[in-house]
Structure 1
Amino acid sequence: MSSVFDTTRRRSLPPQGVAEFKEIFGTRFVTSGAVCAHYGRDESPYPECPPDAVVFPRDADEVAQAVRLCNQYRVPIVPFGAGSSLEGHVLPIEGGITLSMTEMNQIIAVQPEDFTITVQPGVTRTQVNDALRDTGLFFPIDPGADASIGGMAATRASGTNAVRYGTMRENVVSLKVVTANGEVIRTSSRARKSSAGYDLTRLFVGSEGTLGVIVEVTLRIYPRPEAVTAAVCNFPTLADAVRSVVEIMQTGTAIARIEFMDERAVGAVNRHSRLELAETPLLLFEFHGSAGGVREQAEVVREITRDHGGSGFTWAENPEDRARLWAARHQSHFAGLQLRPGARSVATDVCVPISKLVDCVTQTVEDLKSAEFPFTIVGHVGDGNFHVQMLIDPDSRKEWQAAEAINHRLVHRAIGMEGTCSGEHGVGIHKIEFLKAEHGVAGVELMRLLKHAYDPYNIFNPGKVLAWDA
């Protein structure tokens, strides 16, 4: 694992640069070992990799000043939101400055008539919904962690609601971004559509901090549904559960969430969240709409699951019960870690066309049966996306290699099925090598040309998404 951290590539600020940062940021330019260590970790299995310093900007102008200095001195700058990334996205593997967004946490404007809200990048998804509580609107994108909006935009995050509401790609209306020369640009207006020029918003959404620093995000928000209900259904096998999902999606049933957990994940969630779910493969459903529409949707789903061996179709109509159930699902990553105390999680995800989902999941389970370490499988299977969590001894090279071999086979299996190496985690460090298989040499070279044009001195989160050199 440590081979990704080539110390010969580290670039540090010279004394003059340190003095200039201190003059601008004062005590918000921090070189403390403890603080730098905190910003040298995320939820990936990679070892600690601290930056040389951490800067805490409060507005776009301060970010622009920090970027200009890093560009002047050719020093890396890595934005850091909540640190919940799973693929090493925020690790400063070439040294330099980490830009903590924790103090850029203001709600800038709520525009309920236009169904938009504008926030600073350090605002979390729960803060957004707290700000919307009295408007009758909500923001539906919900990755497992309480991630920052800037990080969610940078990684093109999604979550359990993606099957109905889409991902960050569909729900970011506009961005403000600081470019390598320290200019602040707006990628688009707040209009619901535009045919004016290149789609810069979509270029920065998913760029993982490698093309610029996001300093403001305008999001699409939605009316809260009239009626919401959730249900749980157990299955004898994983394949039965996944076949149910495929048939449900093929009927066109308007469902808000379909989540899968294998029996290991269910057991972990039961212990972590003190639930009493039957420990077999299960599906979690949520239905949004009118009271009558919700009942109709649920009845269609109940019949399909019954045809595939589903049982115990139980309801969670009470808001508190629903919230507890979904909170447990969101905590499945941390629940899984408790299956092997002291382990590190090698997490991976893929996404395939829904018609290929059964084959991809069942072949992956067969592959995992030979693993000598615990694992769980969960998924936002309504859109063909599922996750594997492998719990390895951080000191065991053998287990790391075994987990990586399983990950390689899973990714190439998904790409061979016309899927993708990542449905929502992103590339980070972990999946750089798979881009050529997915996009081809010419596609990756076009991405590299964009990187070189936007960031000629390779200061923005270097070593992520793709290699600087061919």
Structure 2
Amino acid sequence: MPRGNSTGLMGANLTVDGGIPLDMIKMNKILSYEPNNLTMTVQAGIRLKDMEEFLADKPFTYMPAPAMHWATVGGNVDTNAGGLKAIKYGVTREHIRELKVVLADGKLYKFGAKAVKSSSGYSLKDLIIGSEGTLGVVTEVTVRLYPRPKEIINALIPYPTLTQAIKSVPAILASGVVPTTVEFMGLKVIDLWESYAN
């Protein structure tokens, strides 16, 4: 079973019944950065944090934002990780163009394409994404890049009840405003945070 940086909160990185983990963390290179076709190809063991640092001074960025930035992109592919930006940008699946995968026969296969339009044949790339490493070992990932947002505005909106907060989300989306992130914090969590942050 392939394993990234063991940050998974769901425990997917734990072997069961005598399984053998295949540590991918040293496969952590950026293989190509191609701004002309809005892609970047990386090895599966690279951490999201390292990808962010590489892209920090560039006009493009990788959008998915799972909570753990120490996670590897291969782990995100294997679990189809989401994150706070999923409401606007979707989960990992929407940001993967091409995969290189070693299957059980020991051969290396390429699924998908760097091109935006690639619809011939079965979508085996999408079958691999989210399969938890049970169908093969992802070794390389070509991700889709987005232009970096020019401005980010944060809004903290208090609601008197949970029901009103929940009802506001479809109303906001129906207005034509698509927020990057929508996060709910209950009063108890806010009290704990305020106490912690003084």
Q: What TM-score, normalized to structure 1? A: 0.41
Match of 2:58 in 1: 135
Mapped pair 1:218 → 2:142:
yes
User: Which stretches in structure 2 are left out of the alignment for 5+ residues?
Assistant: none
Offset, 1:195:
2.0
Question: 1:112 touches 1:135 (CA, 8 Å); kept in 2?
Answer: no
Question: 1:178 touches 1:185 (CA, 8 Å); kept in 2?
Answer: yes
Offset, 1:198:
0.3
**Hey, which of these two has a bigger chunk of helix by percent?**
1
Greater relative contact order (CA < 8 Å, ≥ 6 in sequence): 2
Distance 1:244 1:218 in 2: 36
Match of 2:3 in 1: 80
Mapped pair 1:105 → 2:41:
no
Offset, 1:87:
2.6
Match of 1:246 in 2: 170
Q: What is the aligned length?
A: 197
Identity between Structure 1 and Structure 2 (%): 38
- The one-letter amino acid paired with 1:80 is R
Offset, 1:203:
0.5
Structural mapping, 1:422-433, within 5 Å: none
Distance 1:215 1:83 in 2: 17
- The one-letter amino acid paired with 1:183 is K
Distance 1:199 1:105 in 2: 26
Q: Equivalent of 2:72, from 145, 148, 152? A: 148
| 1:269 to 1:119, Cα distance in 2 relative to 1, 3 A | farther
Moved more, 131-140 or 209-218: 131-140
Question: 2:80 touches 2:93 (CA, 8 Å); kept in 1?
Answer: yes
Offset, 1:252:
2.5
Question: 1:179 touches 1:211 (CA, 8 Å); kept in 2?
Answer: yes
Question: 2:39 touches 2:145 (CA, 8 Å); kept in 1?
Answer: yes
| 1:177 to 1:247, Cα distance in 2 relative to 1, 3 A | same
Q: Which runs of 4+ in 1 moved over 2 A?
A: 264-272
Match of 1:183 in 2: 107
Moved more, 113-122 or 260-269: 260-269
Question: 2:78 touches 2:130 (CA, 8 Å); kept in 1?
Answer: yes
| 1:100 to 1:222, Cα distance in 2 relative to 1, 3 A | same
Distance 1:100 1:269 in 2: 35
Match of 2:15 in 1: 92
**SS of aligned partner of 1:230:** coil
Offset, 1:145:
0.8
**SS of aligned partner of 1:186:** strand
CA deviation vs aligned residue, 1:159-179 (integer Å, no higher than 9, x gap): 111111111111011100010
| 1:217 to 1:271, Cα distance in 2 relative to 1, 3 A | farther
Q: What TM-score, normalized to structure 2? A: 0.94
**SS of aligned partner of 1:270:** helix
Mapped pair 1:160 → 2:84:
yes
| 1:115 to 1:271, Cα distance in 2 relative to 1, 3 A | farther
Match of 1:119 in 2: 42
Distance 1:271 1:216 in 2: 43
- The one-letter amino acid paired with 2:31 is I
Offset, 1:229:
1.1
Distance 2:168 2:19 in 1: 49
Structural mapping, 1:398-413, within 5 Å: none
Bigger Cα Rg:
1
- The one-letter amino acid paired with 2:102 is V
Structural mapping, 1:252-263, within 5 Å: 252-263=176-187
| 1:238 to 1:152, Cα distance in 2 relative to 1, 3 A | same
Distance 1:140 1:152 in 2: 13
Question: 1:162 touches 1:257 (CA, 8 Å); kept in 2?
Answer: yes
Match of 2:193 in 1: 269
Distance 2:113 2:130 in 1: 19
| 1:123 to 1:271, Cα distance in 2 relative to 1, 3 A | farther
C-alpha RMSD over aligned residues? 1.4
**SS of aligned partner of 1:231:** coil
Question: 2:172 touches 2:178 (CA, 8 Å); kept in 1?
Answer: no
- The one-letter amino acid paired with 2:186 is D
